[in-house]
Amino acid sequence: MPVLDGLDVSVPSGTFAAVIGPSGCGKSTLTKLVAGLMTPDEGEVWLHGQRVTGPRKTVGMAFQNPVLLEWRSILDNVILPLEIVAPKMPTKDRIARAMELLDMVGLTGFEDKRPSELSGGMRQRASLCRSIVHKPEVLILDEPFGALDAFTREDLWQTMRDLRAAEPFTAVLITHDLRESVFLGDQVIVLSGRPARTQYVMDVDLPADRTLDVLFTPKAGDMLHTLRDQIKIAQGRTNEGTA
């Protein structure tokens, strides 16, 4: 059985799309297709007017596990993509770019530490810096906050909001957290059960500079209720009573 079947997803340039759906429906497969790490058996993937046929330098990625290299300092971990995609860039410019981002996420003073010396939330901040250090056109986020506690996760939502404001990019976020999808997304794409299709698309009509308090407003509550109902449909649980 195919993982995705007839999936049609369009993310406008410069926007932030959150993708939700039942476990195992193919959300991570979608990110690999967008990143060029997989090629579809049928259909095509396009980024900014070009067909995706393989990995692209203009794509950044962050995962649930930060995968930082223990033998490198935090600064050197953040710089790593620049060593790959911009090998001729002067070292001082690489350092300046990395330090700019580390300062933005509150990691100034930790640049010489090893990953094991940082908390999980701090490691994920460094991972986010690494994913955008080369100024990608597209950022793919595959549940980057899923393994963190609730308070750290909400703190990083705000960090992601601030990074996006300072470093414009098109983003695709895979998440199981409906609140996260509404807080960060300009649109929320709901995938059906496997094989996944686009079941529902919601435009998030909330301020761009939103704070966590917006999640407790009636408008956000209505959005979350709608998304919960859509997930029930995707899971085939439409006949269940309301809890």
What does each C-alpha distance from 140 to 31, 70, 120, 143 come to in angstroms? 7, 23, 20, 10
Q: What is the pLDDT of residues 153-207, one digit of tens each?
A: 999 999 999 998 888 889 999 999 999 999 999 999 999 887 888 899 999 999 9
| pLDDT in the model for residue 242 | 45
Inform me whether the pLDDT recorded for 239 exceeds 70.
no
Report the share of the chain in percent with pLDDT over 90.
Answer: 58
| pLDDT in the model for residue 66 | 86
29 in Cβ contact with 220 (< 8 Å): no
What is the SS3 string spanning 10-46?
CCCCCCEEEEECCCCCCHHHHHHHHHCCCCCCCCCCE
At 243, the pLDDT band (50, 70, 90 cuts) reads very low
3-state class (DSSP) for residue 240:
coil
Whole-prediction pTM value? 0.89
At 12, the pLDDT band (50, 70, 90 cuts) reads confident
Residues 13-23: what's their mean pLDDT?
A: 90
Inform me whether the pLDDT recorded for 26 exceeds 90.
no
